[in-house]
């Protein structure tokens, strides 16, 4: 793609593409038609986590006072509101880092280039918007303090985008650099403070990172990918409780279990006709198509006895499944994936509980939800110019949001012995039906990716 900035992004444009985040999903109450426009980008530090991209480089070093014009490289970005300020279009600069050690997996050609550059690399900072897309950095080109030193990670650019032969890297989460100084920075970690002797040193973290499996390793070898990492930790028992080792092991375990989850088939995947009815007369129909595989774990929330402020029982489990909604089935035609930003298509989720009951006729039943068309901009895009339908959906969403008790799975899916699948959810108000959501699977056609 051409190396050019994206058009300036307003607050609304930045919010149009919600990221897929299990944290975001599980922190919201997934009602049958609940608004889901509150998604926001939330990044995590790279230290102690699985390396997702082969271009990620790890190193230790110290910031210098030198800055160089870097240009955007291959990064497509916007200007406007980011997490660290509002930016306008301006030249893109990076700050020089004096490297003391490179990670073991650094390619030999890059090692030679770093040495030839006087053990220097150039780090280019980027801000990001609510949808996680890159936004131009609004701060100083000298974005690291002169005293900043420790562990660094960044994405290595293609050599064609290096500056004066110096290996040039893009930093898309600058708040996490460098380690360990960033650990105690406000907002980086939920627990605080951490004493210096309760954390790995920068050099120890670089060693740990050398043993971390990559995302590709885990996908190919779930059972053995972390053997080297576990052996490294086992040989250093004095480090086993230091941050971030416990979090690293927990993250590996989560990644393995999540990968196994996403390989499961969705029990009731397919294309559905969904009909909403207000009261006993006004109705509206749209179509929804699920993905073939789950997106994330669902923990069925049920309030314990007592006030709503008390903890919820999350013992029952299920899956969330990325899905898309449209006004007609034809609008799904030739789409292999359900992804955000599609014209006349809205992204959302189905939820399916794992627990299944059966009656004597062989009908299977499980709790679930259809969480689609949850944001006003989606309704207006799908029902373009149809103000009557948009008003209908707004009223239906308001009724759904006010319904109690709140639960992730307010309705029920039923599958008969002959394979017919239906869904129903009813919302009562003063003993009368205020909203009814009914759906029927019309085909088993599903999106090939989530």
Output the tens digit of pLDDT for each of the chain's 450 residues: 333 333 233 322 222 222 223 222 222 222 233 333 333 567 778 777 777 677 899 999 999 999 999 999 999 888 887 888 787 889 999 999 999 999 999 999 999 999 999 999 999 999 988 777 889 999 999 999 988 999 999 999 999 999 999 999 999 989 999 999 888 775 566 555 677 889 999 999 999 999 988 878 877 888 788 899 999 999 999 999 999 999 888 888 877 777 787 788 888 999 999 999 998 778 999 999 999 988 887 765 444 444 444 344 444 488 889 898 989 998 887 777 787 667 778 888 899 998 899 998 899 999 999 988 766 667 777 888 888 998 898 888 888 888 877 777 889 999 999 999 999 999 998 889 999 999 999 999 999 865
Token pair belonging to 116: 């030839």
Taking a C-beta distance cutoff of 8 angstroms, is the pair 270, 441 a contact? yes
**Model pLDDT, residue 74:** 93
Query: What's the rounded Cα separation, in Å, for the pair 272 and 14?
Result: 30
Taking a C-beta distance cutoff of 8 angstroms, is the pair 423, 411 a contact? yes
Token pair belonging to 46: 């790279």
Query: What's the rounded Cα separation, in Å, for the pair 86 and 366?
Result: 47
State the virtual CA torsion across 188, 190, 193, 196 in degrees, nearest 10: -60
Residue 321 CA to its chain's centroid (Å): 14
**Model pLDDT, residue 168:** 98
Residue with structure tokens 């403070």?
A: 193
Query: What's the rounded Cα separation, in Å, for the pair 180 and 195?
Result: 11
Beta carbons within 10 angstroms of residue 69's beta carbon: 12
The count of C-alpha atoms lying within 13 angstroms of the C-alpha of 155, restricted to the half-sphere facing its C-beta, is 17
Query: What's the rounded Cα separation, in Å, for the pair 315 and 16?
Result: 33
Between CA 159 and CA 165, with CA 160 as vertex, the angle to 5 degrees is: 60
Q: Considering only CA atoms, which of 323, 407, 328, 413 is closest in space to residue 368?
A: 413
| pTM (2 d.p.) | 0.62
Widest CA span in the chain: 78
Contacts of 147 (CB under 8 A, 6+ apart): 63
Taking a C-beta distance cutoff of 8 angstroms, is the pair 94, 151 a contact? no
Instruction: Tell me whether residue 173 is exposed, middle or buried, using C-beta atoms within 10 angstroms of its C-beta: 0 to 12, 13 to 18, 19 or more.
Output: buried
Residue 445 CA to its chain's centroid (Å): 25
For every residue of 411-449, DSSP letters joined together read EEEEE-TTS-EEEEEEEEETTEEEEEEEEEEEE---BSB
Contacts of 330 (CB under 8 A, 6+ apart): none
- Helices 227-234 and 245-262: crossing angle, nearest 10°? 160
**Model pLDDT, residue 398:** 86
Query: What's the rounded Cα separation, in Å, for the pair 418 and 231?
Result: 52
**Model pLDDT, residue 121:** 98
Sequence length of the chain is: 450
Taking a C-beta distance cutoff of 8 angstroms, is the pair 177, 144 a contact? yes
Token pair belonging to 152: 């660094």
**Model pLDDT, residue 419:** 93
């Amino acid at each position: 793609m051409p190396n050019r900035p994206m058009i300036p992004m307003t607050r609304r444009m930045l919010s149009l593409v919600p990221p897929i985040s299990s944290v975001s999903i599980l922190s919201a109450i997934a009602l049958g038609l609940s608004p889901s426009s509150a998604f926001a980008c939330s990044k995590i530090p790279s230290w102690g986590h699985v390396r997702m991209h082969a271009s990620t480089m790890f190193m230790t070093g110290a910031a210098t006072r030198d800055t160089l014009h870097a240009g955007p490289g291959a990064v497509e970005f916007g200007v406007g509101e980011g997490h660290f300020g509002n930016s306008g279009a301006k030249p893109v600069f990076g700050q020089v880092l004096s490297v003391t050690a490179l990670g073991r997996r650094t390619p030999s050609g890059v090692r030679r280039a770093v040495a030839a550059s006087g053990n220097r690399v150039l780090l280019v900072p980027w801000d990001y918007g609510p949808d996680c897309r890159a936004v131009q950095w609004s701060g100083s080109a000298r974005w690291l303090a002169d005293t900043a030193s420790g562990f660094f990670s960044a994405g290595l650019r293609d050599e064609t985008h290096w500056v004066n032969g110096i290996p040039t890297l893009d930093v898309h989460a600058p708040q996490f650099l460098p380690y360990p100084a960033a650990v105690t920075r406000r907002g980086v970690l939920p627990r605080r403070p951490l004493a210096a002797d309760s954390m790995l040193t920068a050099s120890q973290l670089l060693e740990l990172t050398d043993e971390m499996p990559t995302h590709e390793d885990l996908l190919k070898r779930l059972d053995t990918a972390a053997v080297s990492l576990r052996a490294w930790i086992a040989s250093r028992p004095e480090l086993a409780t230091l941050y971030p080792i416990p979090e690293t092991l927990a993250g590996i375990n989560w990644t393995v279990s999540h990968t196994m989850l996403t390989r499961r088939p969705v029990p009731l995947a397919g294309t559905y006709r969904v009909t909403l009815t207000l009261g006993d007369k006004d109705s509206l129909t749209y179509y929804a198509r699920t993905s073939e595989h789950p997106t994330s774990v669902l923990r069925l929330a049920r309030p314990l006895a007592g006030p709503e402020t008390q903890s919820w029982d999350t013992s029952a489990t299920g899956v969330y499944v990325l899905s898309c909604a449209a006004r007609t089935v034809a609008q799904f035609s030739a789409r292999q994936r359900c992804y955000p930003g599609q014209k006349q298509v809205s992204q959302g989720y189905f939820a399916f509980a794992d627990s299944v009951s059966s009656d004597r006729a062989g009908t299977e039943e499980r709790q679930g939800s259809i969480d689609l068309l949850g944001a006003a901009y989606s309704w207006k895009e799908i029902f373009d110019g149809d103000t009557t339908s948009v008003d209908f959906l707004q009223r239906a969403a308001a009724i759904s949001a006010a319904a109690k008790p709140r639960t992730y799975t307010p309705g029920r899916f039923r599958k008969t012995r002959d394979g017919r699948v239906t869904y129903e959810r009813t919302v009562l108000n003063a003993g009368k039906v205020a909203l009814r959501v009914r759906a029927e699977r019309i085909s088993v056609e599903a999106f090939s990716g989530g």
